[in-house]
Amino acid sequence: MNFLWQEALWALLLLPLLVAAYLWLLKRRKKSAVTWASLGIVKEAMGTQRAWRRHVPPALLLLALAALLVAMARPTAVITLPLVEQTIVLAMDVSGSMRATDVEPNRLVASQNAAKAFVAELPRAVRIGVVSFAGTAAIVQPPTLSREDVVAAIDRFQLQRGTAIGSGIVLSLATIFPDAGIDLSQITGQRLMPKALGEKTPEKEFTPIEPGSYSSAAVILLTDGQRTTGPDSMDAAKMAADRGIKVYTVGIGTKDGETIGFEGWSMRVRLDEETLKQVALATRAEYFYAGTATDLKKVYQSLGTRLSAQKKETEVTALFAALGALLALTAATLSLWWFGRVA
C-alpha cells in the first residue's frame, strides 16, 4: 500500500499519547474516588464481567481515529479489476519449421489447437485479431468479437518460407492502431500507392508513452525459430514499447532444435529464446516456453487469466474514512446502550 500524502502519517504518533492520557485519567480517577462501605456490595452485584465494557467505546474511538488519520494520508492499493474492453492480437508463426513433429502432432497443429482453446475461454467483450507471419506478415483476421471468425482464421494458416518476427510485431501494432500511420511497405511486401503530383501527406506527431502502460490492447507472439528476414525484432519491440503495448512471447519446440525438410530443402531450426525474452522485457510483458502441446495449452490458459483482468492502483481513502465513521458510530451506540450517555 502506498500513500499520496505520506507526511500525514506522522499524526499517528498521537495515538500512543492518547492511550497514555487515557490510562493516566483512569489512575487519577481511582485515587480521587471515595471508598464507600457499600462499594464492595455494588461491585459484587454488578459482577466483574461488566468491568471491561467501560474500555470498549474508548478503544473503538481510538481505532476510528487511526482509520481517519490513515485516510488523511490518501492511501492507494493495487486492485485487480475485470477489463471492460480490450483487443488481443494473436501473432502466430507460420514458417516452414512449424511442421516439425517434436511437439505432437506438429508445432502448427498444436499451436492452432491451443490458440482456439484460448479464444474460447476469453470474455465475450474481448476483441481478437489474428496476424500470421513467415517471410512477410498478413492480417488473417481484423479484431472482432466473433469467435467463429477467429477460429476460421486460425484454421486457414498456410506454411511459408522465412521467419519475420519483427514484421509480425509491427503488423500487430498497425492492427491495434489502424490510424497511426505505421509504414507497412516493408512488412507486407506491398508497395505504397504513388502520391499525386504536389500532394503532401501531413505527418502525424507521435509521443512515446511508458512501456506497458496501454491496458486496452496486447499482443501474444508465438514462434518456434530465429528471425531470418524482415525488420529487427528488437526495433519492432521498441515500437511496441513506445506505444505502451505489451508483447507476450511464447516459444514453442524443443530447445535443442530439430532438422526438418520443406519443399526440397532441409535445415535445423532452433528456438531463439534470448530474443523472445528481450522482446517481452522491453515491452514489460513476459516470456513463456512450451516444449509440449500440454505446456502450450497451460501457457495460453495463464495468459487468458492475466489478460482478462488488469491490476490498477486505486485510491482507497473512502474505505478508510467509512471504516473510521463506522467505528465511531459503533462506539457511540455502545456507550449510549450500556451507560446511557455518549462519552
Look at residue 202 and tell me if it is in a domain: no
Q: What is the pLDDT of residue 193?
A: 43
- Write down the residue that cell numbers 471504516 correspond to: 323
* Rounded CA Rg of the chain: 32
- For residue 266, what are the β-bridge partners? 261
Res 167 pLDDT > 80: yes
In this predicted structure, the answer to whether residue 55 has a pLDDT above a threshold of 50 is yes
In this structure, the answer to whether residues 65 and 93 fall within a common structural domain is: no
The answer to whether position 324 is within a domain reads: yes
Residue 329 maps to a domain: yes
**Do residues 267 and 122 both lie within one domain?**
yes
Look at residue 198 in the predicted model and tell me its pLDDT: 53
Judgement on whether residues 116 and 262 belong to the same structural domain of the protein:
yes
CA atoms lying within 13 Å on the CB side of residue 130: 26
* Domain-embedded: residue 199: no
Query: In terms of domains, do 155 and 219 share one?
Result: yes
Whether residues 226 and 331 share a domain: the answer is no
92 plus 35 within the same structural domain: no
**Degrees to nearest 5, angle at CA 240 with 108 and 272:** 45
Does the structure show a pLDDT above 60 at 200?
A: no
Domain with 46, as residue range(s), is: 2-78+314-339
Q: Same domain for 332 and 293?
A: no
C-beta atoms surrounding 250 within 10 Å: 28
The pLDDT of 64-93, averaged and rounded, is 83
Q: What is the pLDDT of residue 197?
A: 47
For residue 24, pLDDT beyond 90: no
Task: Give how many domains the chain has, as a whole number.
Answer: 2
Residues 48 and 143 in one domain: no
- d(CA 154, CA 137) in angstroms, rounded, equals 14
Would you say residue 197 lies in a domain? no
| Mean per-residue pLDDT, 135-161 | 93
Determine the pLDDT at residue 23: 84
203 within domain boundaries: no
pLDDT at 115 over 50: yes
CA–CA separation, 109 vs 106, rounded Å?
A: 6
Mean pLDDT for 297-301 is 87
| Average pLDDT over all residues of the chain | 82
Q: Which residues pair with 285 in a beta bridge?
A: none
Indicate if 183 and 224 belong to the same structural domain. Answer: yes
216 and 321, same structural domain?
no
Q: Are residues 46 and 91 in the same domain?
A: no
**Which grid coordinates belong to 285?**
510483458
92-106 pLDDT, tens digit each: 999 888 888 888 888
**Model's pTM, two decimal places?**
0.68
CATH of the domain at 232: 3.40.50.410
Q: Cell numbers for 180, please give them.
A: 497511426
> Is residue 37 very low, low, confident or very high in pLDDT (cuts 50, 70, 90)?
very low
Handedness of CA 332, 333, 336, 338 (dihedral sign): negative
Same-domain status, 236 and 298: yes
Q: Could you give the 3-state DSSP secondary structure of residue 65?
A: helix
Contact 2, 75 (CB under 8 A): yes
What is the tens place of the pLDDT at every residue in 203-224?
567 788 999 988 889 999 999 8
- Asked if residue 217 belongs to a domain, the reply is yes
Cis peptide before 142 (omega within 30 of 0): no
**276 belongs to a structural domain:** yes
